[in-house]
Amino acid sequence: MEIERHEYDVVVIGAGGAGLRAAIEARQQGKRTAIICKSLFGKAHTVMAEGGAAAAMGNVNSDDNWMVHFRDTMRGGKFLNNWRMAELHAKEAPDRVWELEAWGALFDRTKDGKISQRNFGGHEYPRLAHVGDRTGLEMIRTLQQRVVALQQEDERRHGDAEAYIKVFAECTVTRLLKDGDAISGAFGYWRENGRFVLFDAPAVVLATGGIGKSYVVTSNSWEYTGDGHALALLAGAKLINMEFIQFHPTGMVWPPSVRGILVTESVRGDGGVLKNSEGRRFMFDYIPEVFKDKYATTEEEADRWYTDQAGNRRPPELLPRDEVARAINSEVKAGRGSPQGGVFLDVSSRLPAAEITRRLPSMHHQFKELADVDITKEPMQVGPTCHYIMGGVEVDADTGAASVPGLFAAGEVSGGMHGSNRLGGNSLSDLLVFGRRAGAGAAAYVDGLRARPKVADDAVEAARAEALAPLERSGENPYVVHQELQRTMNELVGIIRRSEEITEALEAVGKLKERAEHVGATGSRIYNPGWHLSLDLRNMLLVSECVAKAALLREESRGGHTRDDFPGMSPEWRRRLLSCALGPDGSVTVEEEVQPSMRGDLIRLFERDELKKYMTDEELADFDALVK
């Protein structure tokens, strides 16, 4: 059977913010670059981002700078972050946002014409550059426009717009190919007609986003099946921090068909408050010890903060997401939830109606259309939803390189930057900073190659046979296996975890893995969603196995990993990173790695009093010796 074949220098899998920024960089460095995406071009997850991109530009509060942003990011991640990534991110995010503006992005402005910045949980100053609550859409529009501008340049120079950068949309990659240890290409199929396609390329950048579709209640869309995570594992790379999953505190809880859809944190950033069924602003009861001095303890102080940030502490509704999600979970469990099983998020009593529709147009539209709720007149009902995975491909901070030569990763599919919990707004800036770095890393790798790795025929044949298998058997319905996986992960490895339940989940995932090997899809290869899901199942199961195995081993609670049976945060565990790899029998193995100590100039940015909440006595002694 003939397989369509293309040759590139760099193949970028994913056309969200990370993928587009990586591809632009690789093309700018003169590399022939392909962008592959399984959804329509322009319909990546990044489009859904609402709140904004965090960058310490200091436009609204001139006290802001990269050091404050770095500190906030490390605190948000409970000091488990790859500190080099957090440093690069905080330093480079402003340039990446200004670059977007130069490429045509129309951000909201301050009165004096600068890019406006809004408040968000865990950020000390207003920091999120935004376009109403449609920032991701503007980011993707601008990056796509930049791709088109480069193509127009290529048309003028080479007479072919797609000579150096070409988009392959609605094309799913199912395998990475290798020559010995090194990447040699990628194999996939066209979703529309099921025909196979081979990309021969020495460098692949994974930018495939997250894993939310392994859970029932999620803010993520259909393409978030953990493909890049699984492709990396199958190619021999490692995934770190997979136990850390962010449950966003505010997803819609009703009606059932839209459960999990995101209610942006901007609602709280712009003044919205959380209340229980008794009408109490309960977040004041949930300020953890490590944040006690930074958050208001009375409603009066919290309300004053919106107009006077220098003289007051932040409202506890703006605590990092893991804290707010756990608090909502506790209120609902204690019987103080809303009628549909969430809590109330009220902006209607806090801002004039016109202001709400101006600042939060998408939220107004979303609730009116989907739940028949007018948020200018009544509160929303919200509850936690699986939103973001902090874990992902272990990469070199500076280049995005994974441990497999020729493999790079950026954006949500990569791990380390956000530690155990991501701050809102830090993903969009992460995509730009590390997308650019991964594109540059891939281009430099190609430049340094002495010989181009070859695609082996037998590897292509194996990938083809694997992809065809579900169509050639009349096995179990893939949708049934998927639903059971989603339920298992939601109920047993969700927001609050305990040993017996995770063990039960692992047994269930093991059995589902066996069943997934026998699922069958009826019909042909022409646009066949049952077949596509059969192939995606391998990825969701592998990723779920990583999440559950790492969650079982980490015997502490930190950020997006809460163990009921180990409720405290342990200084000993802080530097221990769990790294997942694929064993020879196809099951996931987990090893411990030690996080390198933070560089002296960076650790000096913190007070000892704060560090002692996170660090061991030994680490504190090192700190004391450093500052002496």
The CB-of-627 to ligand FAD minimum distance in angstroms stands at 34
Q: Which residue is nearest to ligand FAD (CB)?
A: 16
Please report, as residue ranges, which positions from 146 to 175 form the binding site for ligand FAD (by CB under 6 A): 172-173
Structure tokens at 449: 């190659």
Nearer Cβ to ligand FAD (295/388): 388
Cβ atoms of residues 277 and 366 within 8 Å: no
Is position 46 an interface residue for ligand FAD (rule: CB under 6 A)? Answer: yes
Enclosing H/E stretch for 478: helix 478-492
Examine residue 16 and tell whether it contacts ligand FAD (CB under 6 A).
yes
Does position 51 bind ligand FAD by CB under 6 A? yes
Kindly state the smallest distance separating residue 219's Cβ from ligand FAD, in Å: 4
Per CB under 6 A, which of residues 275..334 are in contact with ligand FAD?
none
Q: 404: alpha, beta or left, given left = phi > 0 and alpha = psi -120 to 50? A: beta
User: Does residue 23 interact with ligand FAD by CB under 6 A?
Assistant: no
Nearer to ligand FAD, 93 or 296 (CB): 93
Size of the site for ligand FAD (CB under 6 A): 43
CB count in 10 Å sphere of residue 167: 21
| 115-144 positions binding ligand FAD, by CB under 6 A | 135-136
**3-state DSSP of 486-550:** HHHHHHHCCCCECHHHHHHHHHHHHHHHHHHCCECCCCCCCCCHHHHHHHHHHHHHHHHHHHHHH
- Burial of 258 from C-beta contacts in 10 A (0-12 / 13-18 / 19+): middle
State the minimum distance, in angstroms, from the CB of residue 427 to ligand FAD.
3
Q: Which residues pair with 196 in a beta bridge?
A: 189
Are 412 and 389 in contact by the 8 Å Cβ rule? The answer is: yes
Which residue is listed with tokens 């100053």? 125
CA distance 197 to 460: 10
The torsion region of residue 341 among left (phi > 0), alpha (psi -120 to 50) and beta comes to: left
**Which C-beta is closer to ligand FAD: that of 38 or that of 464?**
38
Least distance to ligand FAD from the beta carbon of 232, Å?
11
Residue 470 is a binding residue for ligand FAD (CB under 6 A)? no
- For ligand FAD, which residue of 11, 12, 34, 36 counts as binding (CB under 6 A)? 36
- Which x/- pattern, by CB under 6 A, does the window 416-455 give for ligand FAD? --------xxxxx--x------------------------
Contacting ligand FAD (CB under 6 A), which of 10, 12, 26, 37? 37
Which parts of 334-393 interact with ligand FAD (CB under 6 A)? Answer: 388
Closer to ligand FAD at the Cβ: 134 or 497?
134
The least CB distance from residue 81 to ligand FAD, in Å, is 15
- Selected binder of ligand FAD within 227, 322, 331, 346 (CB under 6 A): 227
Measured from the CB of residue 23, what is the shortest distance to ligand FAD in angstroms?
Answer: 11
Residue 8 identity (one-letter amino acid): Y
DSSP state of 340: T
Start-to-end Cα distance in the chain: 71
State which of positions 231-270 bind ligand FAD (CB under 6 A): 262
The yes or no reply on residue 94 touching ligand FAD (CB under 6 A) is no
- Under 8 Å between Cβ of 82 and 417: yes
Round to whole Å and give the CA distance between 397 and 386: 26
The single residue among 27, 31, 32, 38 that binds ligand FAD, judged by CB under 6 A, is 38
Instruction: Provide the minimum distance between the beta carbon of 526 and ligand FAD in the complex, in angstroms, as a whole number.
Output: 19
Q: Give the pairing of strands 10-13 and 4-7.
A: unpaired
Query: What secondary structure letter does DSSP report for 401?
Result: B
Question: Which of the 8 DSSP states describes residue 450?
Answer: S
Is 321 an active-site residue?
yes
Q: Is the peptide bond before 255 cis (omega within 30 degrees of 0)?
A: yes
What is the nearest approach in angstroms of ligand FAD to the Cβ of residue 350?
20
Nearest distance, CB of residue 263 and ligand FAD, angstroms: 9
Q: Between 137 and 569, whose beta carbon lies closer to ligand FAD?
A: 137
Contact between 521 and ligand FAD by CB under 6 A: the answer reads no
Could you give the C-alpha distances from 537 to 139, 214, 401, 421, in angstroms and in order?
A: 30, 9, 26, 26
Candidates 38-46, 271-279, 365-373, 613-621 — which segment interacts with ligand FAD by CB under 6 A?
A: 38-46
Q: How far apart are CA 494 and CA 564, in angstroms?
A: 11
- List 32, 127, 321, 359, catalytic entry: 321
- Binding-site ranges for ligand FAD (CB under 6 A): 13-19, 36-39, 44-46, 48-53, 135-136, 172-173, 207-209, 219-220, 223, 227-228, 262, 388, 411-413, 424-428, 431
Active-site amino acid positions = 321
